[in-house]
Structure 1
Amino acid sequence: MANADGLEYYIKFPSPNFNYNQNNGDSDFVFVVNEEKLPVILLFGWAGCKDKYLAKYSQIYEERGLITLRYTAPVKCLFLRRYQMPSIGDKLLKLLLDLNFDNHPIIVHCFSNGGAFLYQNFSLAVDKHVKPLQIKGIIFDSAPGRRRISSLFRAMSAILEGNIIYNLSVSFVMTMFLSVIWLYEMVNSAFSTKKVFQTDPFEFLKDEVNRCPQLFIYSKNDHLIPHTDIEYFAEYRRKHGVDVKTICYERSLHVKHLPENRESYVNSVCSFINKCLNGNN
């Protein structure tokens, strides 16, 4: 783990003697890469994600000799202090520049709306930078989804720990409080003459400037973000000229698609990244 500008992130580089011409993972996939400018995979975790879980996803890429950087935004920033998220996006960009990754191909792999909201602010920082990064593709796992009070309550309940009475009561209070904030933001956005900071990744990312390929991995059994939300979003992006691929599972739960569909999941993300790196259509 490293700490820069208040960001607690995890980064891993391949070993110097890594053999890119052989299969090093749990599939038959082998990347063909420029070893002087290795691809960098940014993994943005879901709200409340513990790094030990995010590390299971980065392992997919590390086993194949890619650089990985994992970061999950603090829960307080995702829900209560969302005004701090643009600063986090700026710090992530600065971190990549300090690491001299500005000429490396970059793939973003984000999870749930928490990861999508982090990507939104990272994307804003990249757009403002004089020399844009080489973002080649985006993977959305269980995201993005529309704002719903029921989904917010389930998310808060999943994040909070403690006995069921404490969990449900605090989740209810937090849900009601955040719902009022949502309502205020919607009214302010509708009637304000000034440009309002967008805190809803579903709405912001629909019209994101970046037109690189996007992969959506989701399920019909997701109780936090309905598959219809993701399908609507993916189709919207496709109609606006984005190369979109979707993988829909029948039974896996929210951000549980890897453990429940490992072979298919690994092959899908690896094929997508290879396509992004080589510009295949």
Structure 2
Amino acid sequence: GCVTLRYTAPLKTVFISESLGYKELRSTAHKLLEFLFDYEVENNPIFFHVFSNGGFMLYRYIVELLHSHKQFSTLCVVGTVVDSAPGSQNVIGALRALKTTLGPKVNVLLQYFLLALFAVAVFLLRIVVYPVTKYFHKNHYDAMMEHPAPWPQMYLYSRADRVIRYRDVEKMVKVLQEKALKVESFDFITPAH
């Protein structure tokens, strides 16, 4: 059998902390990797399944720790499936994801206020000032293109996805293949996110 660790990042972390440049998911990544040693499975093959941008944000820090941390570099990672990710500077897709996450229980006026506030913040921080801020905090997309995982990866995506642009996924795959990494992809064409 397999040992499975599952983690879903909180709304605040994905849509606020990480969007504003706080590396909150880095400590989560560290804790998750420590769990592998706590469960004494560090010598077993490890496989990651990463879903959407929230999962990809966390995966970015896991990869960084596997590259840089002496204890974690001994883990035997055999591959990753990246499902419906990554997206790059897609404000509209991020707004759709946030609207879905907020759901119908949130007051409509509050929902639109939060969406407007988020859109302005992301536009300013991740598009307008990003050419300057990327020198001390790269977004997850650029960080993973620059320092990718060395193990095999499979990217699953759909052209009909309204949250993650298929062109972002295809660009990531192309860049990683140009680095001679074993990367494959599959476009499901019609399903949504």
Normalising by structure 2, report the TM-score: 0.86
Deviation at 1:210, TM superposition (A): 2.5
For the residues of structure 2 that align with 1:215 and 1:183, how far apart are their CA atoms? 28
Deviation at 1:80, TM superposition (A): 2.2
Correspondent of 2:60 among 106, 120, 142: 120
Return the offset for 1:179.
Answer: 2.5
1:223 shift after superposition: 0.8
Match in the other structure for 2:118: 174
Describe the SS at the equivalent of 1:150. helix
Tell me if 1:206 matches 2:145: yes
Q: CA deviation at 1:163?
A: 4.9
Contact 2:157 2:187 in 1 (8 A): yes
Query: Following superposition of structure 1 onto structure 2, how do residues 11-160 of structure 1 map, counting pairs within 5 Å?
Result: 65-82=1-18, 83=22, 84-131=24-71, 132=73, 133-160=75-102
- Of 240-249 and 108-117, the range deviating more from structure 2: 240-249
Structure 2: runs of 5 or more not aligned: none
Q: Decide which structure has the larger Cα Rg and report it.
A: 1
- The answer (yes or no) to whether the contact 1:156–1:175 under 8 Å persists in 2 is no
Task: Indicate conservation of the 8 Å contact 1:111/1:143, yes or no.
Answer: yes
Structure 1 distance, partners of 2:47, 2:120, is 36
Once the two structures are superposed, what CA deviation does each residue of 1:71-107 show, in whole Å capped at 9, x if it has no partner? 0122222232232222112111212122222211111
Q: Alignment RMSD, CA only? A: 1.9
- Counterpart of 2:187 in structure 1 is 248
- In 1: Cα distance, 2:27 partner to 2:13 partner: 10
The residue number in structure 1 matching 2:177 is 238
Ranked by relative contact order (alpha carbons within 8 Å, sequence separation 6 or more), the top structure is: 2
Instruction: Tell me if the contact between 1:89 and 1:123 (Cα under 8 Å) persists in the aligned partners.
Output: no
Q: Counterparts of 1:105 and 1:253 in 2: how far apart (Å)? A: 31
Identical counterparts, % of pairs = 27
1:164-212 CA distances to partner (integer Å, 9 max, x unpaired)? 444333212222123323247614335x5xxx132x2211111324311
- One of 95, 116, 133 as aligned partner of 1:189: 133
Secondary structure at 2:4 match in 1: strand
The one-letter amino acid paired with 1:100 is: E
For the residues of structure 2 that align with 1:116 and 1:124, how far apart are their CA atoms? 12
Q: State how far apart, in whole Å, the 2-side matches of 1:221 and 1:125 are.
A: 33
Runs of 4+ residues deviating >6 angstroms: none
1:215 to 154, 161, 170: 154
Query: Partner amino acid for 1:176?
Result: V
Partner Cα separation in structure 2 for residue 233 and residue 88 of structure 1: 24
TM-score by structure 1 length?
0.61
* More helix per residue: 2
* Deviation of the 1:222 alpha carbon: 0.5
The one-letter code of the counterpart of 2:178 is: K
Write the distance in 2 (CA, Å) between the matches of 1:173 and 1:94. Answer: 36
Q: Distance between the aligned counterparts of 1:173 and 1:187, measured in 2?
A: 21
- Name the SS for the 2:187 alignment partner: strand
**Residues 1:166 and 1:79: Cα distance change in structure 2 (over 3 Å):** closer
Aligned residues: 185
User: Partners of 2:69 and 2:88 in 1: how far apart?
Assistant: 29
* Structure 1 gap ranges (5+): 1-64, 255-281
